Every structure is written in C-alpha cells, then in structure tokens.
Chains A and B, each alone.
Chain A
Amino acid sequence: EIVLTQSPGTLSLSPGERATLSCRASQSVSTSYLAWYQQKPGQAPRLLIYGASSRATGITDRFSGSGSGTDFTLTISRLEPEDFAVYYCQQYGSSITFGGGTKVEIK
C-alpha cells in the first residue's frame, strides 16, 4: 500500500499570501495519478486537481498542482477567504489511498 504523508499538518497564513502544500508518497505514484481535494467543515471533499497537475472543471487557476514520482505539491497562489480549509491528496495509481490532510488556517 502506498502511504501518503502530507506536510505541514497546519499552515497558518493571511489572505493574499501564497500557500504551498506537500504530499510525499512512500513509493513512486504510477503515471502521476495523484489528486487533490479541498474539504470545508460539514461538507464533502471537492476535487481540485487530478493527474497531478490538471485542474478539475470550474476550479480557479489560483490552484495549481505539480510533481511526479514521490513528491507532489499543491500551490494556492493568493489565498482568498474561501480557501481556508483542509486539503487532502489521494493517489490512484496503485489501489487508492489518501493523505492525512493539511489544514490551511487564517493567521
């Protein structure tokens, strides 16, 4: 099973700042089959990125994904108030596993 480790656990930033979230896999993720989701309290996760770098339908270009192999990054270029949430990575190249999440909170 591929274990995904997300860091940091919590990111404290101000609106307008850039957020960089990391997802590291215990082994290489095939064909960069990695997705990112955003989850707000009491809501279902929302797909942001698939294939490591492709934005899902309707997702603003403030969100971008990059990486390959075992190291992946989600970048939010300028934080808006609605971006403060928990973010999960998920690999789907070898069964399916999720990372433990990164909480982006208002500083």
Chain B
Amino acid sequence: QVQLQESGPGLVKPSETLSLTCAVSGYSIRSGYYWGWIRQPPGKGLEWIGNIYQTGNTYYNPSLKSLVTISVDTSKNQFSLKLTSVTAADTAVYFCARGFGTMVRGVIGFYFDYWGQGSLVTVSS
C-alpha cells in the first residue's frame, strides 16, 4: 500500500521560505514514477507546483518556476519542496502525490494516483 505523508511548519512569515517534506512508504522512489506537489488555497481549486524523478530531473509549473525547488533523497525515500518569497497568496493545503508520467512531442505530463493527506501552510506575520 503506497502511502505519502507531508510534514513541515504550518505557519510561515511573508517573504520567508516555505519548506515541506513528503515521506513515501510502501513503494521505493528508486523504482520509478514522478513525485510531485500540488496545492489548494482554502475553498479553491488545485494548482500543480512541480514534479521530480529519482534521478533529480525536475519539472515545474512555469508560473512558479522561479520560486520553487523540489529535491529528492532516495536514501530516505522522501522528497521535498521549497517555495521562496512567500506571500499570503501562498496560503494553501499542500499535497504531495505520485505522478504517472506521459510524453507528448517532448513535453512531459502527469496524472496523480496516490496522494498524501495534505498539509495546511498559512503565510502570516
């Protein structure tokens, strides 16, 4: 049974860096798939942030690319998200998820089959 669990601070000050980690159990990141982050502001829809492969190859939402870093630690079977210079607009539930990758004319995309329960991060002073 694949399980994902987010962890990290629930409160971040404006202009600081949001950091979250996703621990994966029941499946080895080394075995494949693309591991990703999606967020959902309170009462709103879903926004893809980015994905990473076991090799460290990353794929980011173009609208967030300059602010986001996703990294992977295969020895701990976990991956992490850093979002810099946060504002109140970054207040959201952050989900980690396992992505199944597809390739169309050199562009990669993912759908998500296993999700963590989500971690609410509030940006406030």
Contacts and interface: CB of A to CB of B under 8 A. Distances in A.
Interface of A: 1, 30-31, 33, 35, 37, 43-47, 50, 56-57, 88, 90-101
B46 A88 contact: yes
A97 to B, nearest CB: 7
Nearest to B60: A95
Which secondary structure dominates chain A's binding surface?
loop
Interface string B74-118: 000000000000000000000101001010110101111101111
A50 B111 CA distance: 7
A77 to B, nearest CB: 23
Interface in B21-79: 45-48, 61-62
Contacts of A94: 104, 107, 109
Contacts of A44: 95, 97, 115-118
A27 to B, nearest CB: 13
B45 A96 contact: no
Given A50-B100, A96-B61, A45 B109 contact: no
A98 B45 contact: yes
A18 B105 CA distance: 37
Nearest to A57: B113
B8 to A, nearest CB: 16
Contact of B62 (A46, A47, A95): A95
A38 B62 CA distance: 26
